[in-house]
Structures are given as C-alpha cells and as structure tokens.
Structure 1
C-alpha cells in the first residue's frame, strides 16, 4: 500500500511447475519476482493477496492458514533460498547448530547422527566445514548464501524456491551451486529459480518465465529461449541482447512505476515495435504477451 492506495506488485503470473523441472523466473529488479515467491510461502500481510490461487497438491498456498504453512509447507514441502540470506539466519546460533536443529525438526535425524548429517549438508552447498562453528555476522555474503542454500536443501522438500541463489558468489562457486541445483532437479525435485544471472538460468532451467511490471510476458522452453529461434517478446529479446557476450545493448528507458501502469502494454514506451495496438492489453499468443511477431516469424509469414 502506498499513500492509502493499493499497489499491485504482481497482477498476472500464470504458470505450472512439475517435479524434475526447473522454471527460471527472470526480469529487472522491482518487477515482482520476489513478491511472487513471498506470496507462495505466505510471507505477505493478510491483505496483500486479493485474487488468484497457487496450488501445491491439494493446498492453496494463497488461502492456507498460518498453522498449515508453518507445520506442513515451509521447509517440508517448499524449501527457500532467500534473496537476503544473512537476514534469514538466526544471529545467536552457529551455522552448524542451525543445520542440526533444522535436520532434527524436518527429518527426525537421530541425535548421534546430526553432526555427520550437518557436515554432508554443508558440503553439498559448498559451505566450508571449518566455518560451521561461526555465527552469521562472521560470514561474508557468499558464505551466508551457501549457508542458506544448505539449510534450504536439508528438508528434501519437493519444491525449492531459490531467490538469486548465486548472488555474492565467485564464478567457481556459481558453477558449483548451479550444478548442485541441477542435480537437485534431476533427482526429481521442482525448482523455481528467481535470478538476474541469465547464464546460470541457461544451465539450469527447462523453461523460462520473463516478468515485466508484475506480469509474465513470456513463457518459453529454455532451449528455444536461449537458442533458436529465441524469445518472442521484445522485452525478453532485450534482456538477452543486454548481455556482454551477446549484443551488449542496454534496453532504453526505465520500467514504469507499478502504481502508474499504462492501460496497454507496460513495455510499449521502451519498445521500438510499439504501435497503436499496444494501447490494448496484449494477450498470450505463442507463449508471449505481444501483438508483434519476431523478425523470423515475419519473414516466414
């Protein structure tokens, strides 16, 4: 809420996610990606969600009560790698103690086995064993990220929400984290990966969802998105073209304020293909919310 009025951070996010599949959710900062993750875990205020549903089996995550979410969903059915890991670690417990407590609560690991299980969880997330006796304030950003990843994986939840899981990591650790996340998916888990790192998304994702101004504007197979024929939506193409290894051409302009969205396509003011038709809210055609086909599609027409 801003100035006494509600601001819609996410207004159109329609997707499904199966076991053994990774969906990468990408888009500029402020487009609503992390708000979506918070909604799925019931971490928003009660008056924040006004419509829609999010089904995890027979549980609607948007209407489930706090008792259900706390006792049967968080950690057990949905694991979370948070965007700000240091803020989610308990400041008065060492990392090792937090791992052991989480293992005992979520998996029922016997007391005599907790230390070994905590070591295995730390190694899986590339967290150094000689840092397990450290407190969160003694960790660098990268170490806090790895500690949060270890905690998210210990419950073996069927769905993992990873919000910027490679932030603060050097390239070698990014590679290790990406490989571990892909292994997690290949073991039969579902992964919703929220990321700005398109290179990591390309290595992990089976499908890609592109979000802009609170809406998913493209949903595509990852091989098609990163390869040929490429994205269909102009904004999605712009994201790829802004990468140094590609055209390295920034998208002009700035995203609109969520409280002052245009009536038509929110990207129209930044889009070189915009026409009068864009004043009407576009609908999905071929996986993209855009009136205009790509150059390749126009050539085939």
Structure 2
C-alpha cells in the first residue's frame, strides 16, 4: 500500500432524516477520498449538507437519521499500532483491512475512533465543552488519556494553547467565561491533542478575526505537511483557496464538482461553482441568483437548474460525474475555459 492510497475512502454516503411529514435529503450519493498529507475542503451555501457529512462519519447523527454507503478508514495509518489492532478487533498481526466507519457499532466509534484516530473540531464549540471544567482541565485530561504523564501535561497544554492562538492563562477559565472565538480555539486544541491522523474541521474559524483565521488555517496546513489528513468544511472560499489541495463543491446534498484548488478557482466547471466564485468581493461581488431548494423537496434532476441560465430540458435528469482537464463535474452543460476567460473583465 502506497502513500497515494486514501486514508479515508467515502463511497455512496447517503443520509436521510425522517420527520413526521417529510424526509430530509441531507447527503446524497457522496464520494470522496482523503489521502495522508492532503487537505480537502468542502464548500457550499449553508444547509447544503456539509456538517452532516462530518457527523455521519463519526456516528453523531440523531436517531431519526438513516445512513447508507461506506466510509473505509485505513488502519495501517490510523494512529498507533495498538489503536489499529483494536479497530480491527485483533492483535494486528494480519494484514490490516480498512474499517467501515459507517458500519462501526456506536461503542466502538466512541472508544476507539473519535479523538483517537479521527478528530473533530465542532462547528458550535460552546455546546461541546464540559461547562464544569476549566479549559486547562479539559485539555490536560485529554492529553493524559493519550499518553502524556500528569507531570508533562501542563506544559503540553500550554504549547497547544499557543499553537492555536490562545493565551495559556485563558485555559484557567470555564467555557462560559470564554468568548466565542476563544471557545473555538480551545475546541481546536482539544481536537489536536491526541494527534489524530485524520481531522474533521467543521467551520473551525467561526468567530475568529482575520489574523486568527489565517493562523488556524496555517496550523491545519502544517498538520497536513507533517503527514496528517484534514477535511475542512467551510463556507469561506478564501480559506479553502489559502490551504486546500482540492476543493469539493456541495449543493443541495450532492457534491457537484471536485477539483484541485488552483484549477477550480481559475476555471470552475460547474455553473454553481462559478456563481459562488463570482460572489466573492474580489471578483464580481454578485450574489448567486435565486435560492437553494428545500432538502425535503428536491427535484428529480439537477437541483441547480432552477437558478442556472444554462439549464435545458436535459437537466431534468440527474447528471453523472464526468472528468475534465482539471477535475470532475456533475453537469450536463459544464463551463468551458474559453467561456470563463470571456467573462473575466479586462
């Protein structure tokens, strides 16, 4: 097995939430590979299913969720040898086989996956921090649970605080005494403490000013450069452009384009990707027309067709992914490079 093999291979991930009078199509037929040393950004408008993706991988969805598909995690790169053996349910002597996170029992996910081999920076840290423990106690307990001694945990906690841009003195506060940005940085430190090979960062820059946003993004980039893998879920296109190796654009529960970052920002293939980029202040600063469809009432074909000036009757059929010179796009009428160049003002 080479370093080019995915650390995590997601195939056909589909999530449905059953309500009394409707079904929410939160994620549909999602395919995504993440390799060691790679930072993959998933971008899109709010409510498209980005956060549901992260929570599905860790078994953190409510009881009314139905999850199908596969999410195969390579155990030969997933943490220590002991962790890998536990994930496989054996002594580790045999050739390791990938573990399907979507098929893992809740007990196994809680004890052997979350934190140990897959870390999560939550979107709402204030609701995930234990309110009766100080940040220092939370961080030191996490460090001790993952190999640090009682003697060296305080110094390690201080170093982690500095790494995430938090004053070590602020660790002695309780969560309710922290600002939203400080709570976000503490949550990031807690996710990094076990040094997991895969990190799911769900809007990790929420509540941060621009210098701290860049600080956090650069921290994630350094983790990838050291061999870890990061799935960055963000609505901040500038953040994705700054640090991501590849970008997956999500719309109405589906990934509609996946391409190397530079190629996507230079020449997006899907009309929705182009519209998102046009909304940036440094570009046309033009909002995406219309509104996303309700996830309880998605059309049979392309969900973006109602907002797209390239739509034809063909778009009533769901488009399949096709390869382009730069990546993959699910569109019956993808943009050509010549069209994009013609749209760029001189």
What is the TM-score normalised by the length of structure 1?
0.96
Separation in structure 2 between the aligned mates of residue 141 and residue 199 of structure 1, nearest angstrom? 21
Deviation of 1:250 (Å): 0.5
CA contact (8 A) 2:271 2:334 kept: no
Match of 2:61? 44
Larger CA deviation: 7-16 vs 233-242? 7-16
**Which moves more between the two structures, 207-216 or 7-16?**
7-16
CA RMSD of aligned residues (A): 1.4
Task: Give the drift of 1:298.
Answer: 6.7
Matches within 5 A, 1:187-266: 187-227=226-266, 230-266=267-303
Kindly report which structure 2 residues correspond to 1:98-137, keeping only aligned pairs within 5 A, or say none.
98-105=138-145, 107-137=146-176
After TM superposition, list the pairs within 5 Å mapping 1:38-77 onto structure 2.
38-46=55-63, 48-57=65-74, 58-77=98-117
Q: Is 1:95 the counterpart of 2:135 in the alignment?
A: yes
Runs of 5+ unmatched residues, structure 1: none
- List 4+ stretches of structure 1 deviating above 3 A: 297-300
Q: Hey, what does 1:271 align to over in structure 2?
A: 308
SS in 1 for 2:23: coil
SS class of match (1:121):
helix
Higher relative contact order (CA 8 A, sep 6+): 1
**Is the 1:195–1:201 contact (alpha carbons within 8 Å) kept by the matching residues of 2?**
yes
Per-residue CA deviation, residues 76-128 of structure 1 (Å, 9 max, x unaligned), is 101111000111111000000000000111x2211111110111111111111
TM-score when normalising by structure 2: 0.83
Residues 151, 293 of structure 1: alpha-carbon distance in 2 compared, 3 angstrom cutoff? same
Structure 1 residues 193-237: Cα deviation after superposition (integer angstroms, max 9, x where no partner):
00011111111100000100100000101110122xx11000011
Does structure 2 conserve the Cα–Cα contact (< 8 Å) formed by 1:94 and 1:133?
yes
Confirm or deny: 8 A CA contact 1:99 1:118 kept in the other structure. yes
- Tell me whether 1:82 sits opposite 2:119 in the alignment: no
Number of paired residues? 297
Q: Give the secondary-structure state (helix, strand or coil) at the position aligned to 1:111.
A: coil
Whole-Å Cα distance in 2 between the matches of residues 98 and 182 of structure 1?
25
SS for the counterpart of 2:110 is helix
Q: Distance in 1 between matches of 2:67 and 2:106?
A: 17
Aligned to 1:178: 217
Going from structure 1 to structure 2, the CA distance change for 1:223 and 1:288 (only over 3 Å counts) comes to same
Cα distance in 1 between the residues matched to 2:338 and 2:282: 24
